[in-house]
Amino acid sequence: MKNSFKSCKILIQYYPLYLVEQIVKTLISILTPLIPIYVSGQIVERFLNKDNLSSIIMMTFIAFTIFLICEFILYLFTFYEGYVQRKFCAKLSTVFYKKLSSIDYDFHENPTFLNEYTRSLEEGVNHIYSTANYTFSLIINICQSFSIFAILFTMHYLTVIYAILLGIIYFLIRIRMGKINHKNQTLSRPYRRHTWYSNRAFTLKDDIADLKTSNIEEILLENNNIAHDKMIQIIDKYRLRVAILNFIGEVLMMLIYPGILAILTYLTIEGVGLPEFTILATAATTLSDLINRISSSFGQMQDVLVECKVPFDLMKMKGKIEGVILNNVPGEFKSLKVEHMTFSYDGKNNCLEDINLNINKGEKIAIVGSNGAGKTTLVKLLLRLYDSSQGAIYINNQDYKETTAKDIRLHVGAVFQNIETYAMTIAENILLRTPQNEEDIKLVYDALKFSGLYDNVIALPNGINTQVTREFDKNGMIFSGGQNQKLAIARGYAQHYELFILDEPSSALDPLAEAKVYQNMLELGKDRTIVFISHRLTTTVNADKIYLFEQGKIIEEGNHQEMMDKNGIYKKMFLSQSSKYLGEKYGN
């Protein structure tokens, strides 16, 4: 029941008036069942006393009017509750989205976490609201029942005991059903994510070309069918148990009314007059309905209460890096040092080993090496998406592990090779927010010039206000792979990072476009500290310092001329790559 009260607390925190509405609803709900009980008894008694028909009609009319007003108020409340539900679910969804700010990056490499997180986003919000709503309904129904119990208890206590006993048994059955359904959902969730993956693959534009020109569709459909078969097996395994329990529960609910009436008839009929028996019969009918509603509310609440554990457990999750408040970066960026740093994803195999490097303000650093050498892993460590296994990283001589991760990323930012574009305007894609003033507009143009995308965008009819992708706008801009990378570079420039890391920023560009991008970077970014991460050595000639990575280690370092003078691996790689563009005699 702890999650039940927690759900109510969250709902009331967002909408305090909801509690007031529920209190009024409870008072009205206590009154309305008593009206037909009282009126039915009065009608029989007045008929027996041969009272004036007009007085009976007037009393009935007044009671009916009161009842109608109460029901109309309850009807109006349904509109408010619908409004609260929509707004509450929207707000709580935002809370779950923002929860990512306190969950470490490596959580997203864990399928179990992804199963629970997607479950919370898709169903958790509604389960929390439903739990709160069923809890309030349960309280209202219980309050209603007390007055009915009092009437029946005065005649014979067995009626109350009988009704409560059946309700408890039904509740226990629903608890069991809830646990079975929860287990069903938990076991089927991984396979359900497989089917959603297939859904995405068949709807995302970037995947359609492969679907139309290859046999990948067959693999996706096969995996989709396997996932569906697994889900069906799980459902079939638990369906019979749930059906049997549900049947028993429904039978118990059907027995409430005839059982109460039988007890009243057998034990009290001889000493009760017709008016009193009419009241008892009406009370029995009302109580039967209330017990049904109480048991149903208990059962429904139990179903969602079990599911509430998933989002509430998610809300309790805390990362070791994200959301942990430590020290801010001391002052503006001056230096970044990596000392004897070793890192492993699995705790066994090192991806980086004994890395030492220095980056000072204003420098242009090139980090090069073949694919899989550990360059991108280094970027993630410099952004403090991970912490090193051994050694340390210092920013302005302050240990990363003593510095708030979010504050590090205000100073240190990166553009990755695989950029994510969003269905919003070009300006919003660059600023990652809505432009507020002319300074923001100027920053967008400067960023486009820095990245080499300026001429392409300025030629568009709507310029920087052009929508990216055609997800929601048929006239939206579809960028090529190279243009996407330039957009990413523009985005990084606009964030005012003091240390700007570009991870394979030109892998999709041709040599001329690549040269132009780097020329712009060096000219427009002369006051910034820039780190180029690449396996193409054309980025290195003008770098202040070059680090060559191989199998997770730095095997050579120095500026371009120093590296060439060493006659090592760097020189061989440089000459090999250069010959592809300048001919075999280059460098001889």
8 A C-beta contact, residue 332 and residue 117: no
What is the β-pairing status of strands 390-395 and 398-399? antiparallel
Q: Establish if 517 belongs to a structural domain.
A: yes
Chain centroid to CA 275: how far? 59
The answer to whether the CB of 155 falls within 8 A of the CB of 264 is: yes
Q: Does residue 411 share a domain with residue 429?
A: no
Q: Dump the DSSP string for 46-79.
A: HHHTT--HHHHHHHHHHHHHHHHHHHHHHHHHHH
Structure tokens at 125: 């919000």
133 shares its domain with 279: yes
Q: What is the mean pLDDT of each run of 10 residues along the chain (588 residues)?
A: 85 92 88 75 70 75 85 90 89 84 84 83 85 85 73 67 79 81 83 80 68 72 86 86 85 77 66 62 68 70 78 86 91 94 89 94 90 88 93 95 93 82 90 91 91 89 90 84 83 86 71 66 72 79 90 92 92 79 46
Residue 271 lies in a domain: yes
- If you search the block for the tokens 């300026």, which residue do you land on? 454
**Do 486 and 470 belong to one domain?**
no
Last residue of a domain, one of 316, 345, 379: 316
CATH number at residue 97: 1.20.1560.10
Distance CA 540, CA 531 (A): 10
**Can you tell me whether residue 337 is helix, strand or coil?**
strand
Residue 584 is predicted with a pLDDT of 46
327 domain residue, yes or no: no
Q: Is 286 within 8 Å of 55 (Cβ atoms)? A: no
* Pair 461, 511 in one domain: no
Position 202: which residue type? F
Please say whether the dihedral angle defined by the alpha carbons of residues 181, 187, 190 and 191, taken in this order, is positive or negative: negative
Under 8 Å CB-to-CB from 512, ≥6 apart: which residues?
none
Query: Which CA distances in Å does 355 have to 338, 343, 416, 551?
Result: 7, 9, 21, 12
The sheet with strand 412-415 has its strands ordered as: 412-415, 499-503, 529-534, 364-369, 545-550, 553-558
Residue 322 in domain? no
Do 402 and 468 fall into the same domain? Answer: no
CA atoms of 122 and 120, how far apart (whole Å) = 6
In angstroms, the CA 149 to CA 470 distance is: 63
Residue 329: per-residue pLDDT: 94
DSSP 8-class letter at 403: B
Which pair of tokens denotes residue 515?
Answer: 């040269």
Where a domain ends, among 316, 346, 364? 316
Residue 587, in any domain of the structure: no
323 in any annotated domain: no
Written as six digits, the tokens of 309 are 């554990």
How far is Cα 295 from Cα 140, in angstroms, rounded to an integer? 13
DSSP 558: E
Q: Are residues 250 and 390 in the same domain?
A: no
- Residue 588 belongs to a domain: no
Q: Is residue 330 part of a domain?
A: no
| 321 secondary structure, DSSP code | S
Q: What pairing do the DSSP bridges indicate for beta strands 390-395 and 553-558?
A: unpaired
Give the domain extent around 274.
2-316
Partners of 341 in beta bridges: 355
| Residues 6 or more apart whose Cβ sits within 8 Å of residue 407 | 328, 329
User: Same domain for 448 and 525?
Assistant: no
How many Å separate Cα 355 from the centre of its chain? 36
The answer to whether residues 438 and 572 belong to one domain is: no
pTM above 0.75, yes or no: no
Do 17 and 145 belong to one domain? yes
Encoded tokens for 362: 């204003």
CB 136 within 8 A of CB 294: no
Q: CA 273, CA 418: separation in Å to the nearest integer?
A: 84
First and final C-alpha spacing in the chain: 80
* Burial label, 298 (beta-carbon count in 10 A; 0-12, 13-18, 19+): buried
CB distance 319 to 288 below 8 Å: no
Cα 189 from chain centroid? Answer: 15
Find out whether 540 and 368 touch, Cβ atoms under 8 Å.
yes
Pairing status of strand 499-503 against strand 412-415: parallel
What's the pLDDT at 269? Answer: 58
Helix, coil or strand: residue 529: strand
In the numeric block, the tokens 């409870």 are attached to 26
Tokens of 210: 């492969």
**Structural element, H or E, at residue 367:** strand 364-369
Q: How far out from the chain centre does Cα 496 lie?
A: 29
Report whether 522 contacts 541 (CB < 8 A): no
Helix, strand, coil percentages in the chain from 3-state DSSP, rounded to 5: 65, 10, 20
Q: CA-CA distance, 86 to 236, in Å (whole number)? A: 34
Total domains in the chain come to: 3
Regarding whether 487 and 471 lie in a shared domain, the answer is no
Same domain? For 161 and 209 the reply is yes
Specify whether 152 is located in the same domain as 243.
yes
- What is the DSSP secondary structure assignment for residue 208, as one 8-state letter? H
Cα within 13 Å of Cα(12), Cβ side: 14
